[in-house]
Amino acid sequence: MALNFGWKMPSLPRVRPSRLVRGRRPELEEVQSQLEEVLRTKNEAETRCLQLAREKGALQVQLEEMEEEQAELMKKYKAAVQQMQNDQKLMSEQTQQILDLESEKHHLKEQVHDLSSKMDHLASQAEDSHAVRRLEAKVRELESRLELEQTAKSRLESQVQRLKEQCNRLQEESEQAIHKEQQSLESCRKLQRQMRELREDCTTLQHREAEAQQRCHELEMSLENAEMDLQGTKQDLKLACQRIQDLQAALEEDLDSGTDVAEDSDSDSDNDVDIDTLLRRHGLGSQSRMSSMGDMSPLPVTGGSSRRSSAAVSLSRSNESPISGLSSVSPELELADSGSGRTTSYKDDQLVDV
């Protein structure tokens, strides 16, 4: 009977940290996109706030200019009103003077009429003409004075009319300035309300940004922990591969040295084949080797009651399987008993009895 040692290296289960990393990456990307959206919204709000602040400053400057212009117009209006009052007072005085002059004119006309009658009477009486000429000169002087007073009256009336028109125009300009001031104040109130709303939006965006950053930080910490777990798993896989290589080398040496045992298997059919004895022969059954192999127990190959069947130990390697970007080899030690049909295998440093 010949001993058959064989290896079977199945694929290891997928590492959970890598699955955790892949599961968290979409969430991290979503949080990063939300953070970018929040930052873009924040920048737009800050730009709008600066623009509104500039518009507010321009409107305030315009409001100050309009207030200065209104103050100047009010000064002009007050001066015009004062001038109009003075002109009205002057006009009333001149009107009174005109009335006095008209009464004086009427009186003078009466005097002229009396004088004319007297002149006629004197002429008829052939008196001296010197007094007549003096009276005529006085009449002409009074007539010229009357014409001057009438001219001054017409000029004052035109000036009063012009001042009234100017006063009405100043009143209209003052009303327009007041209306513009009210519109500017309303615009300022609207801008202040918009600025308050923008400040509230900025505060909300800052809170959202802080929450997104906190969430991103937590996800990064989770990702770092998962990567650390992945590195630890890689180290464990490397150590397991090294252990499997050592065990494979030991079993190959046992296979070479067990050729003589296979030739005398007919005479020694009642002897048990103890795998643990073979392992101890090469120093693999010691306490340090057993602890490194994950507390592996000796596997005796059992057969029937009358005679022992030959134990076949086959060595095989499975193809490399990528796990989260790694290429590792998963070992399995399988011991087959052709007599009893039982198979005992080492898989992932554990004993599996099939």
CA-derived radius of gyration, the chain: 63
Tokens of 35: 């953070």
pLDDT value, residue 133: 77
Quote the pLDDT of residue 307. Answer: 37
Cα separation of 168 and 191, whole Å?
35
Give me the pLDDT at residue 130, please.
72
Contact criterion met (CB below 8 Å) for 338 and 302: no
Alpha-carbon gap, residue 354 to 288, rounded angstroms: 27
Q: What is the pLDDT of residue 129?
A: 64
Q: For the chain, what are the domain ranges? A: 6-15+239-353, 18-226
For 272, the token pair is 């048990």
Nearest to 159, CA basis, from 94, 95, 87, 82: 87
Cβ atoms < 10 Å from Cβ of 345:
19
The contacts of residue 70 (CB under 8 Å, 6+ apart) are: 174, 177, 178, 181
pLDDT for position 83: 87
Q: List the chain residues with pLDDT less than 50.
A: 1-15, 266-275, 278-279, 281-354
pLDDT at 241: 93
Interatomic CA distance for residues 315 and 22, integer angstroms: 36
pTM of the model: 0.31
Strand segments (E) across the chain: 6-7, 273-274, 300-301, 311-313, 321-323, 326-328, 332-337, 343-347, 350-353
User: What is the predicted pLDDT for the residue at 132?
Assistant: 66
Whether the Cβ atoms of residue 5 and residue 332 lie closer than 8 Å to each other: no
Alpha carbon separation from 184 to 63, 188, 191, 193, 331 (Å, rounded): 6, 6, 10, 14, 85
The pLDDT tens digits of the residues spanning 78-137 come to 888 888 888 888 888 888 888 887 888 788 788 778 877 877 776 666 555 676 678 888
Whether residue 32 contacts residue 293, with contact meaning beta carbons closer than 8 Å, is answered with no
* Secondary-structure class of domain 18-226 per CATH: mainly alpha
Quote the pLDDT of residue 278: 47
Compute the residue count for the chain.
354
